[in-house]
Amino acid sequence: MRHHHAVIHYRALDFWMARAAVLVIICLQLLVINNLSFGPRWVAPALEAALLLPLSVATAWTQAATRKAVEDHEWHAIGQFRVMIRRTALTMTAIISIINCGSLVLLVRALLEGHAGSSGTTLLIDALNIWVTNVIVFALWFWSTDRGGPPTCGLVKLAQADFLFAQMTLNDRELRDWLPGFVDYFFLAFTNATAFSPTDTLPLSQRAKLLMMAEAMISLLTIALVAARAVNILA
């Protein structure tokens, strides 16, 4: 069995996938066609980029420090620094969630009042934009909260799992030390947003169930109300 500190190196790519996911969200926000923000549309992407840049620098520094760490006090310092990174990342994820929900509310209100623009095509594009952002942001939530979040990965041996993945139920020796990565959480978020319920991964904790409920509710509202209205306009 590999040393538990080695998990940190093994999962280093997941941090960069999460940072790239935020970058994709920023690009999606800039591509929104209708005015679906409470202020200038550049404010939200600028705020997220302002948080993403120092997070990326801190992530790179932490990963460099883990390659040199030997003593327990060095690992302890790294763990504390990673907790600070996690709190900042959770703050950024919460901001993105609020902004995306606000965009959905504004789009629904504009649809009901008939001021969302004359083209049903733009409504479909913005609805798809909001839906994709919803999937990505909840992938970040799942990844950031399961087992105490990425900062505890490799540092806490008995972290309580929030999700039961299919690999965890197998008796295969090669999967005994298996841990979910960011792609696994992205798949979980995608299937939950399309099926509106758990598929091959089950929520175990109350916070996991609440997160999945929130994602399914936003996804259902986006698809059933906004997209349906846009299709009616096209017809």
- 44-93 pLDDT, tens digit per residue, is 899 999 999 988 888 888 777 777 766 777 777 777 777 788 888 899 99
- CA dihedral sign, ordered 86, 91, 92, 94: positive
> Cα separation of 212 and 190, whole Å?
11
Closest CA to 164 of 209, 136, 200: 200
- Which pLDDT does position 4 carry in this prediction? 47
Residue 13 lies in a domain: yes
Domain that holds residue 140: 6-234
CA torsion 37→39→41→46, rounded to 10°?
A: -120
Q: Which segment of 96-110, 125-139, 140-154, 173-187 scores lowest on mean pLDDT? A: 140-154
Can you give the pLDDT at residue 225? 75
Residue with tokens 């929130």: 214
Does residue 1 belong to any structural domain of this protein? no
For residues 39 and 150, give the distance between their C-alpha atoms in angstroms, rounded to a whole number: 33
- Among the residue ranges 49-58, 142-151, 189-198, the one predicted with the least confidence is 142-151
Question: Rounded to whole angstroms, how far apart are CA atoms 171 and 140?
Answer: 29
Residue 132 belongs to some domain of the structure: yes
Phi, psi for 202 (deg, rounded to 5): -105, 140
Structural domain count, the chain? 1
| Residue 186 vs residues 82, 91, 143, 190: alpha-carbon distances, Å | 22, 19, 8, 6
Q: What are phi and psi of 164, to 5 degrees?
A: -105, 105
Q: Is the pTM of this model over 0.95?
A: no
The confidence score (pLDDT) of residue 69 equals 66
Tell me if 75 is assigned to some domain. yes
Single-letter amino acid, residue 111: L
Residue 214 domain-assigned (yes or no): yes
Measured CA to CA, the distance from residue 73 to residue 130 in angstroms comes to 44
15 pLDDT more than 80: yes
Average pLDDT over every residue of 26-37: 86
The percentage of residues in the chain with a pLDDT greater than 70, rounded to a whole number, is 80
Q: How far apart, in whole angstroms, are the C-alpha atoms of residue 186 and residue 91? A: 19
Q: What is the mean predicted confidence (pLDDT) over 119-130?
A: 80
pLDDT at position 20 over 90? yes
Those residues whose C-beta lies under 8 Å from the C-beta of residue 234, and which sit 6 or more positions away, are 120, 121, 124
Of the chain, the percentage scoring pLDDT greater than 90 comes to 32
- Of 46-50, 102-106, 107-111, 183-187, the range with the lowest mean pLDDT is 107-111
- Share the mean pLDDT of the chain: 81
**What's the pLDDT score for residue 201?**
86
pLDDT of residue 138: 96
The more confident residue out of 160 and 173 is 160
For range 212-222, the mean pLDDT: 92
